[in-house]
Amino acid sequence: MENHEMVDITIIGAGPVGLFTSFYAGMREATVKIIDSLPEVGGQLAALYPDKFIYDVAGFPGVKAKDLVFQLHKQALTFSPTICLNEQVQDIIQPEDGTFKIITSKGIHFSKTIILSAGAGAFEPRRLKIDNATEFEGQTLHYFVKQLDSFTGKRVLVCGGGDSAVDWALALVDVASSVTLIHRRSEFRAHEHSLTQLKESSILIQTPFELTKIFGSNGQVENVIIQEVKGEHQNTFEVDEIIVNYGFITNIGPIKTWGLETTKNAVHVNGKMETSIPGIFAAGDICSYDGKPRLIATGFGEATIAVNHAKSFLNPKAKLSVHSTHLFSAPKH
C-alpha cells in the first residue's frame, strides 16, 4: 500500500519518547505520523514490564510503566497524529526533492523530515546459561514481568545487579512471601537511593554469587543452588519463582543500512539531535553522544530539541522553541 499523504514529521518508534515527540511536534503545529513495529504503543515499557515503577520522570515520585504509557498516549492524541502499528520500517529513500520515502513491511509513506525514537531497537533478554533453564522459561523462570500480583505469596529469587533487578526486588517486598537478590559482583549498579532502600529492606542479598543449578519438575521451580563467584561457598534455597535481569541484547537492525553514522548500537547525533543525514533527527535510546545518561527523562528533553530543529529545517524562519503556556488557552473557571 502506498500512502501518498506527505507529513511534516514521521516518528519511527511509539515508545515513551516517540509519544512525547508526537505531542511536542503537534505543539509546533507540525503534521505527524508515528510508525512502530509493535502491535501497541509504549515500546519496552508496555511490552516487557507494564507493572514496573519508573522513577526518572519529572513530577512522578514513582509511576507504573503502563500508567505512564497511558498518559503519554493520551497526551499524544491531543493533536490527532496518524499512528501505524505492527509495521516495521525497512528502508528510507530520499528522492531528489529532498523529502523521504519510507518503505515499511506494509507499504510506503512520505515525509518531509524524520525523527528516530526506536529505543534500543530489537531486543531479547540475556538468558541463563544453565542446561535445564528452558524447562522453566515462561512458567516459573521469567525474563520479563507482566503482572506483579502473579508473585503474591511466592518465594522469589531475583538475579542481576542493575536498576531493573534492584527495582523488581524492591517492588516485590510487599507482594512476595520472601525475596532473595543475587548478583555475581560485590557491588550493585543501581541508583544510590534504590541501594539505600535495598539495604533497609527485608530482601536477602547474596553477593558475589550466581545461580548455577535449578531443580523442579513440570515447569515448576522447587529449589536452586547458588555458587560463590571465585569461591567455594554454595547455598541452597527453596524458591517458587525466578526473575532474571541480566540485561538485553539489542540490535538496531535495518537502521544500520540507511546510511546513518552509527556508534555501536546507536545513531550518532550532534547537539541539535541531527543525524548524519540532513532532515533525519533522533531522540531517546536510539541516539548517542558523549556524556549521555540513558534515562527516559533525557529522551523527553531530546525530543523537544529534535522537534524544534526539524521545524527549523522545514521553515528556517520558524522559532527554535516555544513556551507551552502560549499554546493553550487558560482553563475556564
The reported pLDDT for the residue numbered 265 is 82
Q: Do residues 11 and 32 touch, judged by C-beta distance below 8 A?
A: yes
In tens, the pLDDT along 28-43 reads 999 999 999 888 999 8
Residues whose CB falls within 8 Å of the CB of residue 164, separated by 6 or more in sequence, listed in order: 49, 52, 245, 247
306-313 average pLDDT score: 97
Statement: residue 324 has pLDDT above 70: no
Lowest mean pLDDT among 40-44, 107-111, 197-201, 219-223: 40-44
Banded model confidence at residue 126, pLDDT cuts 50, 70, 90: confident
Banded model confidence at residue 50, pLDDT cuts 50, 70, 90: confident
In tens, the pLDDT along 211-231 reads 999 999 999 999 999 999 999
Statement: residue 327 has pLDDT above 70: no
The reported pLDDT for the residue numbered 332 is 46
Which grid cell is 56?
Answer: 526518572
The reported pLDDT for the residue numbered 115 is 98
The reported pLDDT for the residue numbered 254 is 87
6-26 average pLDDT score: 97
Statement: residue 205 has pLDDT above 90: yes
In tens, the pLDDT along 226-252 reads 999 999 999 999 999 999 999 877 778
Lowest mean pLDDT among 68-77, 183-192, 256-265, 308-317: 256-265
Banded model confidence at residue 122, pLDDT cuts 50, 70, 90: low
The reported pLDDT for the residue numbered 326 is 56
Statement: residue 323 has pLDDT above 80: no
In tens, the pLDDT along 152-167 reads 999 999 999 998 899 9
Give the span between the Cα atoms of 39 and 190, in whole angstroms: 31
Using a CB cutoff of 8 Å and minimum separation of 24, what contacts does 174-178 make? 175/148, 175/149, 175/151, 176/151, 176/152, 176/241, 177/153, 178/202, 178/204
Q: 256 or 319, which is more confident? A: 256
Paired strand residues for 282: 116
The reported pLDDT for the residue numbered 217 is 95
The reported pLDDT for the residue numbered 325 is 58
What distance lies between CA 43 and its chain's CA centroid? 6
The reported pLDDT for the residue numbered 38 is 86
Task: State percent of the chain over pLDDT 70.
Answer: 95
CA-CA-CA-CA torsion sign (66, 141, 124, 163): positive
Statement: residue 151 has pLDDT above 60: yes
Angle between helices 296-314 and 16-27 (to 10 degrees): 40
Banded model confidence at residue 269, pLDDT cuts 50, 70, 90: very high
Banded model confidence at residue 331, pLDDT cuts 50, 70, 90: very low
Give the span between the Cα atoms of 9 and 259, in whole angstroms: 19
**pTM (predicted TM-score):** 0.76
Report the b/e string of 70-107 with b at 16+ CB within 10 A. eebbeebeebebebbeebebeebebeeeeebebebeee
Statement: residue 187 has pLDDT above 70: yes
